[in-house]
Amino acid sequence: MEKKVAIIGAGLSGLIACKYVLETGFQPVVFEADEGLGGQWRHTIESTKIQNPKQDFQFVDFPWDSSVKEDNPNNQQVQAYFNAYAQRFGIVPCIRFNSKVIDIDYVGESNEDIKSWELWNGDGTPFGSKGTWHITLQDTKTFSTEVYKAEFVILCIGKYSGLPNFPEFPHGKGPEIFKGKAMHSMDYAALDNKTAAELIKNKRVTVVGSGKSALDVATEIADKNGVNYPCTMIQRTVHWFLLDFKIWGFSLAYLYFNRFAELLVHKPGENLLLSLVATLLSPFRWGFGRLIEIYLKSKLPLKKFGLVPKHSFHHDMYKCTFGVLPDLYFDKLKERSILIKKSQTVSFCNEGLIIDGEAKPIESDLVIFATGFKGDQKLKSIFKSPTFQSYIKTPTNVTVPLYRQVLHPQIPQLAIMGYAEALSNIYSNEMRCQWLAQFLDGNIKLPSVKEMEKDVKVWEETIKQYDRKWNSCIVTCGIWYNDQLCKDMKCNHLRKKSAFAELFEPYGPSDYNGLVQK
């Protein structure tokens, strides 16, 4: 009997998952609520560019076209790149656009039976159970619904879209009393360029947030409105941001993204020797971070604008909360088309926003909240079963507990992609999707449920040494993680040509090309 594989989402991870599942011999169906592929890259603001150099943000077997000369391509170039990838590998015919997934329900096995399994899915294989997933779909144009049945589901719904996070407001002090307009950056980014420009034109705009999206939105607004209508930014926490991925012309990859750099940090499941090495070499880790902080303070007027973070660069690095500054951001600060305000709380009044320490409100016509997304809640809500919903949040409420960052030990016949963050989410997703394809093809044997849960716990406890509220960022040990996947797939995890290169050269997408022989 044909085993049906359904992929939910045609963003970056959905495209990659489809490509590798196709190569394994399955005929997957991809359900996408939008009318085009690309996920969040279809809905970014006009000035968005990739943060990484393009050689680090590319598919392992599909490099950028030679016509793209920029080191950091813009969102239109990224979208064209994704479309070319989907065409090249026959992904587009697999996608059902305008097909919104309302929920998914696992039918055929009781919760009691599932909890009694010693092996994932009963026998440790992807199709061992008699259960099937019932996927409720809604056509976004006709609003008709149907139920599609599949033996395996791959969730690629993303952490940074769909369910925006808003601050909580005291009663009577929320946006309902504001005479202007309040929205999330997700909704602003979804506007076409002309509509967005008309929305902000000659408006007093306030952006709430301190992450990459907040800086991008504020810079774009300042560029269009200038000093006559400056954009106000309200920040709660100041983060470290880079000019690019170099300091004094030296690539940061040599400090953080090679095997030597990973010797400086503790890694999940490491032996006693590696643990001792990480402890002894920890001063180097501290020194690298201080070097970057000194460089940024020398190159940018951080102190002048009150933008020196109270925490170390490593704090943002290990949480994946650092980023690359938008073009001309500090120029906008200097000309005062961007104004910075700091506050731990915000509330609305009729005229605008009230913040800590200021008696007068910040008068605004438009307030944009760049305050992140509720990725775990979005993932949780797609399950119809309350039992499966309860599995998404861990007791410590930090991240989705996934074995190899792919499988939940207690949810059968389902994989979750795109929830672990690394330096480049393209090739880190490719590694996971190749691992999953090999598992679907019967080439990987899983340990017991208890061993999977133990491994998940080891990862959480290790990385929480550097990030107490771990949110799935594995940037500190990305190579170590890829090594595990390679060993599972019976591939050589040492990808360089010499011992010196293996230790000191950065790892990137090209190192994993041709990983699994087809």
Residue 396 has pLDDT above 70, yes or no: no
Candidates 73, 78, 60; CA nearest to 16 is 60
List beta partners, residue 147.
136
Q: Is the pLDDT of residue 426 over 70?
A: yes
pLDDT the model gives residue 397 = 47
51 pLDDT above the threshold of 90: no
What's the CA gap between 397 and 435, in Å, rounded?
27
Q: Residue 352 — pLDDT band, cuts 50, 70, 90?
A: very high
Residue 516: its pLDDT value, please? 81
Cα 264 from chain centre? 25
Residue 394: pLDDT band with limits 50, 70, 90: low
Contact 134, 176 (CB under 8 A): no
**C-alpha distances in Å from residue 19, one per residue of 23, 79, 177, 249, 371:** 6, 17, 49, 37, 33
Q: Which residue is associated with the tokens 């690019």?
A: 244
Strand 152-155 relative to strand 5-8, pairing: parallel
Return the axis-axis angle of helices 478-488 and 425-440, rounded to nearest 10°: 20
CA angle 262, 264, 265 (to 5 degrees): 75
Return d(Cα 506, Cα 278) in angstroms, integer. 19
CB 455 within 8 A of CB 41: no
- Alpha carbon dihedral 459, 460, 463, 467, in 10-degree steps, equals 170
What is the identity of the amino acid at 192?
D
| Pair of tokens at residue 138 | 């809604």
In whole numbers, what is the pLDDT of the chain averaged over residues?
A: 92
Distance CA 408, CA 322 (A): 28
Can you tell me the mean pLDDT for 127-153? 96
Closest Cα partner for 203 from 343, 370, 329, 368? 368
**CB-based contact 417:156 (threshold 8 Å):** yes
Q: Which two tokens stand for residue 262?
A: 């990973």
262-284, pLDDT tens digit by residue?
999 999 999 999 999 999 999 99
pLDDT of 446 strictly over 60? yes
Residue 1 has pLDDT above 70, yes or no: no
Please determine, for residue 53, whether its predicted confidence score (pLDDT) is greater than 60.
yes
Which residue type does 298 have? S
Cβ–Cβ < 8 Å for 164, 17: no
Res. 331 pLDDT band, cuts 50 70 90: very high
Angle at 125 between CA 122 and CA 129, to 5 degrees: 45
Which of 68-77, 330-339, 402-411, 445-454 bottoms out in mean pLDDT, i.e. has the lowest? 68-77
Residue 171: count other Cβ atoms within 10 Å of its Cβ. 5
Helix residue ranges per DSSP H, 24-107: 75-88
Burial class (CB in 10 A: 0-12, 13-18, 19+), 306: exposed
pTM: 0.94
Q: Give the whole-angstrom CA distance, residue 354 versus residue 227.
A: 22
Q: H/E element holding 218?
A: helix 212-225
pLDDT in tens, 204-259: 999 999 999 999 999 999 999 999 999 999 999 999 999 988 899 888 889 899 99
φ, ψ (nearest 5 deg) of residue 166? -115, 145
**Cβ pair 157, 381 in contact under 8 A:** no
Q: Please determine, for residue 292, whether its predicted confidence score (pLDDT) is greater than 50.
A: yes
Please report, in angstroms and rounded to a whole number, the separation of the first and last CA atoms in the chain: 23
Average pLDDT over residues 376-380: 89
The answer for residues whose C-beta is within 8 angstroms of residue 473's C-beta and 6 or more apart is 318, 319, 320, 420, 421, 422, 463, 467
> In 53-94, which ranges are E strands?
none
Burial of 56 (0-12, 13-18, 19+ CB in 10 A): buried
Which letter does DSSP use for residue 383 in this model? B
HEC-encoded secondary structure of 464-502: CCCCCCCCCECHHHHHHHHHHHHHHCCCCCCCCCCHHHH
- What is the reported pLDDT for 158? 84
